[in-house]
Amino acid sequence: MEDLIGRGREAMSLFLGSDQARVDEVVTAIAWSIYQTENATRLAKQAVENTGLGNVRDKVTKNQRKTFGTLRDLLRVRTVGIIADDPQRGIVQYAKPVGVVAAITPSTNPVATPVNKAMMAVKGRNAVVIGPSPAGWPATATTVDLIRKELSRVDAPADLVQVLPAPVSKERTQKLMRAADLVVVTGSQNNVQSAYSSGTPAIGVGAGNVPVIIDSSADLARAAQKICASKTFDNSTSCSSENAIIVLDDVYDAAMEALVQAGGYRTDPSEKSQIEKHLWINGNLNPRLTARDSAVFARAVGLSGAAKEAQFFMVEESHFSADSRFADEKLSLVLTVYRARDLDDAIGIIQGVLGVQGRGHSCGIHTADPEHARRLAEKIDVVRVLVNQAHTFGNGGSFDNGLNFTLSMGCGTWGGNSISENLNYRHFINVTHLSTTVEEDRPSERDLFGSYWAKYGK
């Protein structure tokens, strides 16, 4: 571990004097190492072979889309020298590196997440050591090898990006966390808690369990198409994948028909029982069914012939119950459906779902009424509320919304996290504030206390 960190520090010292143009060139090299179709495809195939999670087609899309979008964001900001100058306040801000970053990454995204974090870390002139999951290590190691080759091609220190050597274990990952200057964790909440207790400054992200409302004014066909595309993308490996939808009563039947037309299968009570029996084993999700193709899932659960042709499976609940397993995150092509009397009832169901898991993460609504979206944002303690969007494609940044591209979504203190935004470059820089004197800004006592005195007296 000392060797890894030492090599990272040496690479940082060689890179520290780089100007913004050079830093951006090196970040672009990291992006290009995976964005190339040949590499994106090769790595997607290896990720699925190693982990059995997701599918190759969508992982190729994820590898390229997330990398492209993140590069767009990073090339638009400064992280070298003066990054802000406010003469009125007499404050000039200078960006500085945070140090060697331990980037802990999940088995669900053993390629896209490491590259995403490496780009952000190097943008801040840091070095990064990737700590992958054991299952994802081979794909992550290949990814890092490709990054290092591209760094060498542009004459940048290859040790700016390293990977924790195999065999990866909990103990070795914890040692990496303790040795680094900053820990950034995406993945299991066990890893997040380990990072917070490592003694090293840490940024963790919370668990997903996304609920989405379809209200009476929604374009039902478009909503259904977006939900299907989002739910089925990479076989629901994303923490932003819809896990529950809440449909208002007066459009329930029409919305369910639209979802069927989009590719959903409406399970009957016996099939619902079959899903529950097989999807959970001793209270835990069955790894043989999470993030699997729909046909594989249908056969394993014993669903009918029609179900085998569907893209995802809808389980209808007569009412919300925190004790139902279907209220939790499912990491599979199973979508829980609730029927709500009105918007207030739907908001109450969302609060219940997020109380089971996913508090702070996100929720969404399909609506033509902006006031409904605003009311949802006011009532629900989440970092992101998406309106008329395919959640998986919008939550981690999109080309048609203003969220930063990322694969790591902070959930605020609601989700036990230190950040309440998408992980981005700002989390990988320290800032020095140069303060000079300005014209005195001292209001009178009456300016500050006048209204209070008038109401309550002195």
Cβ-based neighbours of 374, under 8 Å, separated by 6 or more: none
In angstroms, rounded to a whole number, what is the distance separating the alpha carbons of residues 337 and 249?
12
In angstroms, rounded to a whole number, what is the distance separating the alpha carbons of residues 192 and 186?
7
Q: Pick the catalytic residue: 228, 239, 363, 411? A: 239
DSSP 118-177: HHHHHHTT-EEEEE--TTTHHHHHHHHHHHHHHHHHTT--GGGEEEPPSSP-HHHHHHHH
In angstroms, rounded to a whole number, what is the distance separating the alpha carbons of residues 164 and 160?
13
Provide the 10 A C-beta neighbour count for residue 401: 13
Whose tokens are 């945070």? That residue is: 98
Residue 267 φ/ψ, nearest 5 degrees: -75, 150
- Residue whose C-alpha is closest to residue 167's, from 147, 142, 138: 138
Give per-residue burial for 316-354: e unless 16+ CB within 10 Å, then b: bbeebeeeebbbbbbbbbbbbbbbbeebebbbbbbbbbb
In angstroms, rounded to a whole number, what is the distance separating the alpha carbons of residues 343 and 340?
7
Concerning whether 411 is annotated as a catalytic residue, the answer is no
Whose tokens are 């520290």? That residue is: 16
Read off the tokens for 444. 């009178």
What is the SS3 assignment for 37? helix
Name the helix (H) or strand (E) containing 211.
strand 210-214
Name the helix (H) or strand (E) containing 237.
none
* Active-site amino acid positions: 239
